[in-house]
């Protein structure tokens, strides 16, 4: 292997000159919560970074580890798409001075959007093992599950495969965060920041985090029938301590007061409610003021399923009988001609989702749960068309749009200071079906994927975020 004679890419920070390959001493640190040891539904887990002085962190190699115990009194499942990540409702990163650096509302919902649209054969099986979902794939679990119309209506799971967590069983979860800070393109100089930064994790309610097999507890089922607790939370951090030459150069850059800037990609969530079965079209409007919007992702779930302990609460993205859609920014339709989608023609819909996630020209291109066998017949659960379809509530459908002009930082749509409305225009097929194809209200979660910049003030050591 040829010796690298230049500064590694991850150490090429703004205002720090390139130099021969620096000496980097790699160690590993484990951070634990500062506010307790055992956490249950709706509680906060707060983990400080506690990075040694004048050290960097390779957050792309960092991961969370914790134990999840079934306290329900009967078997439960984790969401088969994301495993233990399903218990994380909100994710926040807070700087040492208390400034909010990152916030992902409905973190588990966003994680599911990413997971079910990566390449199942290359990625998902590994992720299933790491996140504690077991060896069964999302597809196998879902296709083996609903067997009656009543179960399908609630999007329930009934199988007893590898994802089952028995009564009092404890499962170890290893999770790599879907976070802007943890996906930054450089090493983070957290050992040079003022104060102690920390992550704040808000856990989901019982019925959202876990799935109970239909009829396992009850009837009647009440909220408290499904429950869990977590413990032994650890944040594993690769710590990099530079040698004296690079350390001196970085201290000099800091002393000059010139900000150190590190790029990454974050998300902003908005959630709206629509009335199922009320019309043949919907127009959903919201706004964002991000400087560079890279993509839009919208997933639709049955409102009642979100808090139903028997339902696939996190990753059951319905098609709501939508046959075509597009977005509008400031009144301009993008694309001008609506994207077509149906049970027989979902290629364009899937292609746009892959482009929005950056998978279209990647080895990660694919989709978990696209196809398989149900009752010995080939099926697809990416897009289901009818309410009486036994797999309709297992749909993995997203309505997405790629907005990057080219593949680079800050090549997305600039909406900062403009106040331009973002509008999702959706239409059902022939007017015979009402929007939603269900008789109940639905939740629409839209995630705005945007560029963000972490900024370390050299004069004060204060870290902030600008997006």
Domain boundaries, the chain: 24-466
Q: State in Å, rounded, how far the first CA of the chain is from the last one.
A: 39
pLDDT in the model for residue 201: 98
User: What does the pLDDT read at residue 151?
Assistant: 41
Q: What is the pLDDT of residue 434?
A: 53
Per-residue pLDDT of the chain (467 residues; tens, 9 = 90+): 344 456 677 777 766 666 666 788 999 999 999 999 999 999 999 999 999 999 999 999 999 999 999 998 887 878 767 888 889 999 999 999 999 999 999 999 999 888 766 644 444 455 556 677 654 444 444 434 444 434 433 444 444 344 678 889 999 999 999 999 999 989 999 999 998 899 999 999 988 887 776 555 444 445 457 889 999 999 999 999 999 888 888 888 888 877 889 999 999 999 988 776 556 677 888 888 899 999 999 998 878 778 777 777 887 787 777 888 899 998 899 999 998 887 667 778 888 888 888 877 765 555 544 444 444 444 455 665 444 444 555 567 888 999 998 888 888 999 887 777 888 888 776 544 555 555 567 888 999 999 999 999 988 999 999 99
The residue written with tokens 């429950």 in the block is: 227
Residue 10 structure tokens = 């991850």
What pLDDT was estimated at residue 451?
A: 95
pLDDT value at position 368? 44
**DSSP per position, 245-264:** HHHHHHHHHHHTTPPEEEEE
Q: What are the start-end ranges of the E strands in 164-292?
A: 164-165, 170-175, 198-203, 210-211, 228-242, 260-274, 281-287
How much is the CA Rg of the chain, to the nearest whole Å? 23
Q: What is the predicted pLDDT for the residue at 23?
A: 80
Distance CA 399, CA 389 (A): 20
**Gap between the Cα atoms of 467 and 455, Å rounded:** 11
Residue 103: per-residue pLDDT: 97
* pLDDT at 292 (0 to 100): 94
At 277 the pLDDT is 59
Cβ neighbour number for residue 457 with a 10 Å cutoff: 16
Residue-level length of the chain:
467
Cβ burial, residue 81 (10 Å; 0-12/13-18/19+): buried
Q: DSSP per residue over 95-125, as a string? A: -TTS-EEEEETTHHHHHHHHHTTS-IIIIIH
pLDDT of residue 343: 63
Specify whether domain 24-466 bears CATH 2.70.9.10.
yes
């Amino acid at each position: 292997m040829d010796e690298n004679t230049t500064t590694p890419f991850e150490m090429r920070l703004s205002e720090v000159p390139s130099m021969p390959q620096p000496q980097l001493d790699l160690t590993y640190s484990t951070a634990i919560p500062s506010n307790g040891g055992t956490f249950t539904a709706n509680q906060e887990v707060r983990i400080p970074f506690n990075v040694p002085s004048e050290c960097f962190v390779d957050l792309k190699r960092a991961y969370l580890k914790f134990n999840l115990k079934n306290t329900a009194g009967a078997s439960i499942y984790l969401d088969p798409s994301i495993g233990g990540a399903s218990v994380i409702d909100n994710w926040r990163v807070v700087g040492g001075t208390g400034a909010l650096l990152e916030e992902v509302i409905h973190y588990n919902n966003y994680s599911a959007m990413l997971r079910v649209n990566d390449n199942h054969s290359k990625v998902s099986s590994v992720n299933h093992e790491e996140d504690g979902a077991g060896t069964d794939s999302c597809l196998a679990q879902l296709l083996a599950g609903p067997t009656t119309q009543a179960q399908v209506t609630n999007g329930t799971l009934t199988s007893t495969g590898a994802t089952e967590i028995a009564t009092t069983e404890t499962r170890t979860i290893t999770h790599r965060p879907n976070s802007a800070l943890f996906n930054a393109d450089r090493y983070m100089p957290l050992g040079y920041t003022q104060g102690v930064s920390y992550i704040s994790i808000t856990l989901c309610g019982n019925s959202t985090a876990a799935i109970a097999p239909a009829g396992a507890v009850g009837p009647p089922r009440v909220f408290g029938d499904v429950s869990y607790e977590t413990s032994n939370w650890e944040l594993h951090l690769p710590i990099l301590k530079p040698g004296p030459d690079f350390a001196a150069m970085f201290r000099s850059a800091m002393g000059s007061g010139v900000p150190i800037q590190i790029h990454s990609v974050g998300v902003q969530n908005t959630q709206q409610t629509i009335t199922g079965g009320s019309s043949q079209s919907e127009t959903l409007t919201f706004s964002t003021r991000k400087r560079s919007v890279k993509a839009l992702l919208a997933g639709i779930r049955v409102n009642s399923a979100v808090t139903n302990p028997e339902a696939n609460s996190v990753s059951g993205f319905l098609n709501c009988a939508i046959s075509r859609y597009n977005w509008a920014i400031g009144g301009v339709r993008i694309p001008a001609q609506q994207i077509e989608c149906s049970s027989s023609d979902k290629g364009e819909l899937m292609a746009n989702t892959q482009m929005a996630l950056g998978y279209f020209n990647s080895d990660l291109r694919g989709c978990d749960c696209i196809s398989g066998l149900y009752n010995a017949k080939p099926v697809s659960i990416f897009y289901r068309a009818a309410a009486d379809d036994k797999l309709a509530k297992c749909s993995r459908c997203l309505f997405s749009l790629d907005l990057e002009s080219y593949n680079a930082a800050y090549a997305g749509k600039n909406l900062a200071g403009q106040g331009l409305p973002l509008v999702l225009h959706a239409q059902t097929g022939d007017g015979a079906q009402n929007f939603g194809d269900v008789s109940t209200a639905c939740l629409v979660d839209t995630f705005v994927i945007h560029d963000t910049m972490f900024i370390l003030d050299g004069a004060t050591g204060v870290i902030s975020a600008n997006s």
